[in-house]
Amino acid sequence: MAKLPILTAPDPRLKQKAKPVERVDESVRRLMDDMLETMYAAPGIGLAAPQVGALKRVIVVDVAREGEEPQPFQMANPELVWVSDEDANYEEGCLSLPDHYGEVARPAAIRVRYLDAQDEIRELQAEGILATCIQHEIDHLDGILFVDHMSALKRNMILRKLLKAKKQHALPAYSAAAS
């Protein structure tokens, strides 16, 4: 397994739509495993393939708390087949928007259909933080970031801060020897 670099906004690749995988073969399983390792190391509770530069409809999720047994889900081509009428609000963050958070309303419960790591079709009913996390990661597959669910003012403020931070990290360090 390998830890992958995570793209950060406003990288234009995060706004692209991912393509479905034909089947979960060895290369997709390797991507899923690498994504889990990357997510755990970050640390995070979800990661979508576009966040690591792979335009494939693949997500990984594990909302187990620290000290609990890991409960990872590896999903290819996840699709919501049912969502509740009731919404839930959670303060969301994202590995691609480090240190920025915002409240997002999403359906409180969902049913998702996907291909698992063995290329088997599965369905999962989820609620609470697991439902929110899966929806957040599926959004990534469609080029949607959690800030896209917020007001334009809040979204633009966060994206400007991220752009400024990126520019500051890209500047060469000042060296006394260079003067």
Is 137 tagged catalytic? Answer: yes
Q: Are 105 and 147 a contacting pair, CB within 8 Å?
A: no
* Strand pairing category for 73-83 and 58-61: antiparallel
- Cα(30)–Cα(159) distance, rounded to whole angstroms? 32
Of the candidates 66, 69, 79, 137, the residue annotated as catalytic is 137
Comparing C-alpha atoms, which of 90, 92, 130 is closest to residue 110?
Answer: 130
Backbone angles phi, psi at 173, to 5 degrees: -70, 140
Distance separating the N- and C-terminal Cα atoms of the chain: 44
**Neighbour count for residue 97 (Cβ, 10 Å):** 21
Residues known to be catalytic: 137
